[in-house]
Amino acid sequence: MPHTVTIDDTGERYACDQEESLLTAMARLGKRGIPVGCRGGACGVCKVEVLSGDFHTRAMSRDHVSDDDRAGRRLLACRVFPASDLSLKVIGKLHTRVCAPATV
């Protein structure tokens, strides 16, 4: 049975099976909202904060997800699998990247 994932930043909602990562389901459905990187838990681009709901995870880079991140439910969407409906906030690198003006 699919669970509903809501991206609080955009209001985007999509269905995600418990055997499918949050990132894979979003991409499969042609949705946007979570930045896509390596899809294997190593680059940190798809970092999200799970605001509500239950889930399980697979291994992800400790360079991008510390023990404090785990405790704060800040994880990589490519390695998070829903066990209930989820609400999340995007905090990945591409989401927070700010372009600085060029200097001469």
Per-residue model confidence as pLDDT tens digits over 8-22: 988 889 999 999 999
Per-residue model confidence as pLDDT tens digits over 70-100: 999 999 999 999 999 999 999 865 444 333 3
Domain boundaries, the chain: 3-96
Q: pTM for the complete prediction?
A: 0.81
Per-residue model confidence as pLDDT tens digits over 93-102: 544 433 333 3
The β-bridge partners of 7 are 12, 88
3-96 folds as: Ubiquitin-like (UB roll) (3.10.20)
Of 97, 60, 65, 61, residue with least CA distance to 81: 60
